[in-house]
Chains A and B, each alone.
Chain A
Amino acid sequence: MRHTISLFVDNESGVLSRVAGLFSARGFNIESLNVAETMDPETSRITLVTEGDDFIISQIIKRFNNMVNVINVTDLTDEPRVEREMVLIRVEAKDKTRAEILRMADIFRAKVLDVGQKTYTLELTGDKEKVNAFIGLLLPLGIKEIARTGTVAMEREAKPSKKKGDKK
């Protein structure tokens, strides 16, 4: 099953490889990973999406809790949450497709970031399905390059996340 896991960690070198190491040690792939500083410059937030056996994911989360650099872990999978992802897409813009690309961008509320002789660069924010749908529509027109941030997520309400040391 697909899991979205949110971690608050010490903002220091090596933390990311500790987190990633738990997955690689079990031969698990991380589908997407997003890391950035929080309001507190000493803390980073990681949003991690992975596909895997629930039992093993629950083991991994317990191991996260054991890590000295991990301040807080929440498996958002079963929580009401908002999820967003941003993508930058460079798409071929030929005479006959230029208008259509802009029309689609408008429908999807994507922004045009860069206009060139041969390409448009678009920015789109949305959940994974919306991003995939947009990419799917642009694909026949010739996508030159894409860059995705991976999912970032938050619980819908400010309810307290699980503290370390709580029993399962």
Chain B
Amino acid sequence: MARMIGADMFFETLIHQGIDVVFGIPGGYVLKVYDVMTKYEDRIKHVLARHEQGATHMADGYARASGKPGVVLCTSGPAATNTVTGIATAQMDSSPVVVFTGQVPLPYLGSDAFQEADHIGITRPCTKHNYLVRRTRDLPLAMKEAFYIASTGRPSPVLVDMPKDVILGEDELVIPEKVSLRGYKPVMKGNIAQIKKAVGMILKAKRPLIFGGGGLIWSEASEELKTFAHRLEIPVTSTLMGLGSYPADDPLFISMLGMHGSYAANMAVHESDLVISIGARFDDRATGGNFEKFAPYAKIIHIDIDPSTIDKNIVVHCPILGDAKTVLKQMLELLPSEIKKNRKKWLGQINKWEREHPIGYEQNGDKILTTYVVDTLSNITKGEAIIVSDVGQHQMWVAQFYKFKYPRTHITSGGLGTMGFGFPAAIGAKFARPDKQVICVCGDGSFQMNMQELATAVENQMDLKIILMNNRHHGMVRQWQTMFFDGNYSASYFKVLPDFVKLAESFGAKGLKVERPEDVESSLREGLSTEGVVLMEIMVDCEELVYPMIAPGGAMNEMILGASDIA
């Protein structure tokens, strides 16, 4: 057994864990970690972010694109508190981010020392678990446990706080092969009696609907889902987080549901007699928020790995606790070889809804519509790029118009709705999937919240595209002000904005600006095929609104379909 200091144990354990990239910023109490890091450069790539929030979103984007934990390293105090938004973002969307923070030496804990903050206390409600390491020799075990907890069960962020004396202390390196925690035993397999009950309900249903969520992506259940949907001929709708888990071009896919879901998807939920929810948590944005009016004619099967999501928002008829992929496999095994489906009427009805109110737009006039840009982008990239969206109107249009084919290609901050997530997360996603075209779609408001990371992208000579929809507004705020606040556009307009093209150029990136609808396609093609970091600023119409919309508290069948519904 080798003797070494905590800082070396840190890297030895990361390598043992299979980690090869760390996003971070050096500072006071982690300087020794950064000092020894140069020895490990050939095995661990360090990405120097410009802000710890950026670093955390990068790690999150990396985790979502790869399925592997994303790692953050930073110092104490302000650095640690800067990670909090990133941690909370990862928690809401079940992303395995592991954050390592430096901390004041143990004897100074609680003394208000320079750059001291109570990292454990501050991050307790937004992590699945966190550790304050008290002895150097405990560091590898805490790290192994952190990775295990973060990446098993319902994935979630974990923080490990490393006091300076733990980092500097010397001991034998002991990396445990296996982790066993008496208070943490995630359940993978579903209860067989519940599964039998569910299969019985499914075989009897006349208007069944699959309600897929992000859990399908984390459990890599796309293949099983497709087989399941096809064998039973059940239409599939998806939450925002579930997009990509089922191919958008499959005839059974009826687009996203929820506040800005498609008419057909929301009507299908409302009229369904059996909702099969897999890896979703019935969040208010997916259900319209009116839990009493949700799916009034349906029995509900709820498959989820997290017991605390069961009966949280919607009381369900058949809960199945377990991993989505495993449970789908278990259900597939129980299906009879001959299934009487009789779906003609139900699928016909859904098809009718789709034709009655398709998601669409009319690009005429001289103002560019964001919907048109996203639709064009989807066509140009054939739905095969990784799209990392930010938060706001453009995010909903990406969800509605981009035809995602594969899991882990749609990355967005769904639960927390963190503006500023998109661009750094795109950097992380590109590190995870250098083989893929990675495109950040953002707004002028959200890009300004983490645009300093342009330096990180350029420094790493990334091939990364940014499509910035500039409407000079907080667009979604403006939409709500239009619809619910009598057009009182309070603080949603930017009198001053940077020249985004020059801004990109000042960082050493390339920039181009699009102002006319007829230039959109050619400019996107040009920008996407240009090597390096390219920012495409598209000047879009600020008056375009996202439809359909369920007003907060509305039922799924109470949709505002267009301007004529507002009056």
Q: Which residues of A are in contact with B by a Cβ distance under 8 Å?
A: 9-10, 13-14, 17-18, 21, 25, 58-59, 62-63, 65-71, 164-165, 167-168
Contacts and interface: CB of A to CB of B under 8 A. Distances in A.
B420 to A, nearest CB: 25
B487 to A, nearest CB: 35
Contacts of B185: 164-165
B307 A65 contact: yes
Contact of B183 (A14, A58, A164, A167): A164
Given A17-B124, A167-B191, A167-B321, A65 B182 contact: no
Interface string B317-330: 00111000000000
Given A14-B124, A68-B184, A165-B321, 18 more contacts: A10-B183, A13-B132, A14-B132, A21-B124, A59-B308, A59-B312, A62-B307, A66-B128, A66-B306, A67-B129, A68-B128, A68-B149, A69-B129, A70-B183, A164-B183, A164-B185, A165-B186, A167-B191
Contacts of A68: 128-129, 149, 181, 183-184
Given A66-B307, A71-B183, A168-B310, A25 B125 contact: yes
Interface string B176-189: 00000111111100
Contacts of B129: 67-69
Nearest to A64: B308
Interface string B83-121: 000000000000000000000000000000000000011
Contacts, number: 56
B194 interface: yes
Nearest to A65: B307
B98 to A, nearest CB: 14
A68 B184 CA distance: 5
A165 B187 contact: yes
Which of A13, A21, A62 has the largest number of chain B CB atoms within 10 A? A62
Contacts of A58: 311
A70 to B, nearest CB: 5
A64 to B, nearest CB: 9
Nearest 9 A-B pairs (CB), nearest first?
A: A62-B308, A165-B187, A68-B129, A68-B184, A71-B183, A62-B307, A63-B308, A68-B183, A70-B183
Contact of A168 (B149, B187, B319): B319
Contacts of B128: 66, 68
Contacts of A165: 185-187, 307, 321
Contacts of A63: 308
Given A10-B183, A164-B183, A165-B185, A65 B308 contact: yes
A9 B149 CA distance: 17
B416 to A, nearest CB: 15
A58 B307 CA distance: 11
A66 B187 contact: no
29 contacts: A10-B183, A14-B124, A14-B132, A17-B121, A18-B124, A21-B124, A21-B125, A25-B125, A58-B311, A62-B307, A62-B308, A65-B307, A66-B128, A66-B306, A66-B307, A66-B308, A67-B129, A69-B129, A69-B183, A71-B183, A164-B183, A165-B186, A165-B321, A167-B191, A167-B307, A167-B320, A168-B307, A168-B310, A168-B319
A165 B322 CA distance: 9
B183 A62 contact: no
Size band of the interface chain B makes with A: 20 to 34
B538 to A, nearest CB: 41
Contacts of A17: 121, 124
Contacts of B183: 9-10, 67-71, 164
A66 B129 CA distance: 10
A14 B124 CA distance: 9
Contacts of B182: 71
Given A68-B149, A68-B183, A168 B124 contact: no
Contacts of B186: 165
B518 to A, nearest CB: 53
A46 B191 CA distance: 30
Interface string B114-140: 000000110011001100100000000
B302 to A, nearest CB: 11
B163 to A, nearest CB: 14
Contacts of B308: 59, 62-63, 65-66
A17 B181 CA distance: 20
Nearest to A25: B125
B131 to A, nearest CB: 9
Nearest to B120: A14
Contacts of A71: 182-183
Contacts of B149: 68
B321 to A, nearest CB: 5
Contact of B311 (A10, A13, A14, A168): A168
Nearest to A62: B308
Nearest to B311: A168
A22 to B, nearest CB: 9
Interface in B184-216: 184-187, 191, 194
A75 to B, nearest CB: 14
Contacts of A167: 191, 194, 307, 310, 319-321
